[in-house]
Amino acid sequence: MGLFVFLPLVLPLTAVPIARLTEQHLHPRGAARLMTVISAVLAVCSVLCLGLIGVVGTAQIPGNPLPDSWSDPEVRAALPYHETVGTAAMWLLALVGTACARTVVRHLRVRARARRALSGLPAGQGSAGDLAVLPDSSPYAYALPGSPGRVVVSTGMLDGLAADEREALLAHERAHLRHRHHRYLLTTQLAACVNPFLRPLQNAVAYSAERWADEDSAQAVGDRRITARAVARAALVSHAAPAPGFAAFAAPTAAAGPVPRRVAALLGPVPTSRNWPPATTPAGLAAMVAAIGTAASALCALNAAVALLVVLKAVTPL
Amino acid sequence: MADEGHAPTTGDAPARRRGQGELEAQVLAVLQRAPGPATAGWVQERLEGDLAYTTVMTILSRLHAKNAVSRSRSGRSYLWQASSDAAGLAALRMRRMLDGEADRDAVLASFVTALLPHDEELLRTLLDAASADPAATDRES
């Protein structure tokens, strides 16, 4: 194995064009699924690659917990190694582990707190059983995953919407729960923790999940315009409340934010529902590139891992 | 309902255990079923699980601090009455969670995300387009 061990760490750079192309050309459902799988595979490969570089690089450092035989001259001869790079890889690995653990803990904590907040509200019967309307003047609407999942909407949000728009909002949140979108979000968040190059995919999956729920909602209420109005009005109602400071930082960009893009997409034509575009279109090409990149990354990582295992197995007396 | 976003912790900050919310909700539910103002002992009798009298008193005081119950003095003890329903209490706690967790949007799928500066105008234009449909309701101003 040579320098290509590092490939899985750099390949995620392709995430930006992948995200852009899939977002534009694929049905949101397909886009969310594809990008989640891609980012998960690339993240796993990155971890493997880091571990490999770390193990090989630090095996010679005296006092490390790895078996002595791993620093055998034979191993040194067989594998490219560098102590500094190896140590850095180990530190990075520890950092990645901490970041992932923090993400998971935060995820579970927010869900538990939200669930506890609702614990006093018994679930109702019938189709509206999962709905919790909270008397709060500040507008918000959340899908709270779990079994059963619940939809939390404040009266502040409902007051801002017409009756048909409320239906669209509920359909949207229920689509999140039905398709378990929180899993997509968590997976891509963890992937972005592992390799920051995967962050564009995380944002793209979050956007695609919203679009997916929008499309489901539009289908449920039977009119895409109603969902479009619901999204737009909800955003305007929420905007009246002080917006998070972070939005202001993005001020210089003239590009439209995610919410107007969602509304515009809903006002546009229905996205084609096929999951894999023909290979001759730009979308097909993008999907191909993504698939090939992912496969190459996976192969590199696998190859490197197998090479390491073979060498270590040969020198480890077990 | 008053915005009691961060209710005073009434001197028992470490008592932020699991299940505190459930207990509060249970006590509140019992009070709501009461025919009128009730004593802490009355509440304690009707709570499932053997809770100490002092525990019930603590929970009642905590609910009082959150404006979820009101109390009136009767002789040497207090009479308690639910002033807010379960939904109100849930809203209080949800509010506190949302305020406390800076990036809860990363976990819970929010219906709409924050707008960029240009988005507001853009949205109004789009909204006009969406409402222009004759079949659509004419509630757009």
ipTM of the assembly? 0.71
Give A75's contacts (C-beta < 8 A, 6+ positions apart).
A56, A59, A69, A311, A312, A315
Whole-angstrom distance, CA of residue A189 vs CA of residue A243: 23
DSSP tag of B76:
T
Name the 3-class secondary structure at B37.
coil
* CB neighbour class for B126 (10 Å; exposed up to 12, middle 13-18, buried from 19): buried
Q: Cα separation of A140 and A156, whole Å? A: 7
Q: How far apart are CA A169 and CA A142, in angstroms?
A: 10
Angle of the A199-221 helix axis to the A15-25 helix axis, nearest 10: 10
- CB atoms inside a 10 Å sphere around CB B125: 14
Sign of CA dihedral A262, A264, A266, A272: negative
A54-111 pLDDT tens trace:
877 776 666 666 666 666 666 666 556 677 888 888 899 999 999 999 999 999 999 9
Mark yes or no for CB contact A235/B106 under 8 Å. Answer: no
CATH topology (fold) of B13-89: Arc Repressor Mutant, subunit A (1.10.10)
Torsion of CA B13, B15, B21, B26, to 10 degrees: -130
Q: CA Rg, chain A, in Å?
A: 24
**pLDDT < 50 stretches in chain B:** 1-18, 134-141
DSSP alpha helices (H): ranges in chain A? Answer: 7-10, 15-25, 28-58, 73-78, 83-117, 155-159, 163-178, 181-194, 199-221, 224-240, 245-249, 258-267, 282-315
CB contact under 8 A, A114 and B130: no
Disruptive mutation site among B28, B32, B112, B137 for chain A (greatest number of A CBs within 10 Å): B112
pTM check: above 0.90: no
Range of the structural domain that residue A236 is part of: 3-119+128-315
Q: Confirm if A60 and A213 have CB atoms less than 8 A apart.
A: no
Q: What residues of A are in contact with residue B104 (Cβ under 8 Å)? A: 110
Q: How many domains does chain A have?
A: 1
Contact A120 B130 (CB under 8 A): no
CB A67 within 8 A of CB A313: no
Q: What per-residue confidence (pLDDT) applies to A94?
A: 93
Q: Is B80 helix (H, G, I), strand (E, B) or coil?
A: strand
Task: Count how many pairs of residues, chain A against chain B, have C-beta atoms within 8 Å.
Answer: 179
Asked whether the beta carbons of B28 and B69 are under 8 A apart, the reply is: yes
pLDDT value of residue B4: 39
Question: Which residues in chain B have their CB less than 8 angstroms from residue A213's CB?
Answer: 109
pLDDT for A25-57, tens place per residue?
A: 778 898 899 889 888 988 988 888 888 778 777
Q: Which of A95-117 are b and which e, b meaning 16 or more Cβ less than 10 Å from the residue's Cβ?
A: ebeebbeebeebbeebbebbebb
Tokens found for residue B63: 């609910």
Q: Which chain B residues are Cβ-neighbours of A253 within 8 angstroms?
A: 116
Of B87, B113, B118, the CB nearest to A134: B87
Question: What burial class does residue B57 get, using C-beta atoms within 10 Å of its C-beta: 0-12 exposed, 13-18 middle, 19+ buried?
Answer: middle
The band of A235, judged by pLDDT with boundaries at 50, 70 and 90, is confident
Model confidence pLDDT, tens digit, residues A265-275: 888 888 776 65
Q: Angle at which helices A83-117 and B86-100 pack, to 10 degrees?
A: 160
When the pLDDT of each residue in chain A is averaged and rounded to a whole number, the result is: 79
CA atoms A241, A246, A252, A253: torsion sign: negative
- Whether a cis peptide bond, with omega within 30° of 0, leads into A148 is yes
Tell me the Cα Rg of chain B.
22
